[in-house]
Structure 1
Amino acid sequence: MSTQSFVCVIDPLKSLNPKKDSSIAMMESAQSRAWKVGVIEDGGLWWSLDQGVCATVIWIHVDRSQKPWYSELGREEVKLKDLSAIIMRKDPPFTAEFVASTWLLEQAEREGARVFNKPSAIRDHNEKFTIAQFSRFVVPTLVSRNPGQLREFVEHYPDAIVKPLDGMGGSSIFRLKKGDQNIGVILETLTDHGSRTAMIQRYIPEIVDGDKRILLIDGQPVPYALARLPKEGEHRGNLAAGGTGRAQPLSPTDLEIAHAIGPVVQSRGLMLVGLDVIGNNLTEVNVTSPTCFREIMDQTGFPVADTFVKAIEKAVGRVPGVV
């Protein structure tokens, strides 16, 4: 394929919100920099012995001033190794089909494809549990599927947050307080009566000031975080849970956390990472499809999407503007 191509593995196009979706911001930036932009939707990847890993690519033109925000330019069956850059942007949940897509993309890498984030790294970094590798920034935490152990944690830390390891957008996150009569049923539900692992952490009261999203691009922090403020009566700052976003400069502690984690994740093939920080405490390391590009761009003018696309250009050795 002679034209330089920027192709996202992504949820169905009709499900994306052009006002806030970070993947659309990436594609819009790539298009402005003379990339040919395409997407691979659910079920669009396959492997065969004679051709290797292939996909049905939907080529699009992005124009957020129109409805819908994209126009389809055509569909093409291509070998992934013939694409210039493949961006894995499929949202969780981390199902068996999500894992299968990482297997296919990893095989495509073996055949010569360039995939960001690295499929094996996405698979190996659970977004909740990866904080264990950076424990100096973490509040008291327990990961277990034993309801008795989780209940005992609440005895030691009478105000706690419990959540599944595979959730997203603030789903199934509960605040537990010692003496709450619902503790038993909540823990039974989250662990499916001891058959599914969950995480419990000491409650971090600084959540009232926002759950900060810090973006790392090629190991370097974007200079602004998006503080996601819980709506009244909520303990979750996630935008999907009704929180509001406020862009703000990184604090000294934010920078310390970012500079400690950035080189590590970059060395593992994670081009784009979203750190979640409450107060001075790391709570998640997001690697599947980190968001908040648009909110930071709109509120500060910092070119997050351009910064990301330039990092991809550097990684693949592309000369900007050359098609």
Structure 2
Amino acid sequence: MDFQEQAKHYKLRVEAQLATWFDAQAVSSSLHQAMLYSLNAGGKRVRPILVYACADICQVDTSSKSDQDCAAAAIESLHTYSLIHDDLPAMDDDDLRRGLATCHVKFDEATAILAGDALQGLAYEKLSLLDDEVLACRLIRALSSAAGAEGMVAGQMLDLEAEGQELDLSLSELECIHRNKTGALIIAAAQMGALLGGASPEQSRALATYASALGLAFQVQDDILDVVSDSETLGKTQGSDISNNKSTYVSLLGLQEAQALAKQLVEQAKQSLTVFAERGQFLSELADYITHRKN
């Protein structure tokens, strides 16, 4: 399969798995409706794609396809929770996500908060049910450490604290925010794939290096698109970083330098895949996709 076909295959797998997680006889149908609304709003599914691809690249059959599906769905569930909460009035206060009204706009603020909380809990619950308890524990550890106070949530806190500052952040301060807010969960996806694929220590290090560069490139491209794209293409409010007085890679470096940095990070990511030889082709093309995407 070529890159587009393989990515679509992974995307369909995770979406099929997510669909099995919702019982028609839910305790609260309104809560499930809000959870499903955000999960089914589309999206690139980059994190679950990374789980699958990093498991496959190791070529060691140490986990079942159902384990991989569960892990991919878990990280997408947790990622969706983070988007719901990021969009809240107390956070980034966005009205659009993936071209649709954000969860708190579609429903209400309390429902959005609870939907996010439930999606986070769902991710860990499903991982805990894997037959291989050691693998389950390792996957939960990778995901929880990336999502919490030493990872994604810490990055969000730093981002909020930096809003409205009279002086721009330094480049290293901005990188610290985004290595946590965006990068930590992308690294977790690669770590989870490596665990599922039975990666050797050398392979695990290579995938971590790849994901670290990829996560930062993803954010740099987001900053670029916030300037050069439009709301319809982005599926969210264009120019929101400027209106929120946020420091970005474009505001610090300028557009051309930010584009050069994104390209440099992609090359770093691709260089880390040499240990996999030709098996690294899909991940190499995924890195290119990150900086060529339009939303």
> TM-score, normalised to structure 1's length?
0.27
More helix by share: 2
More strand by share: 1
Larger Rg: 1
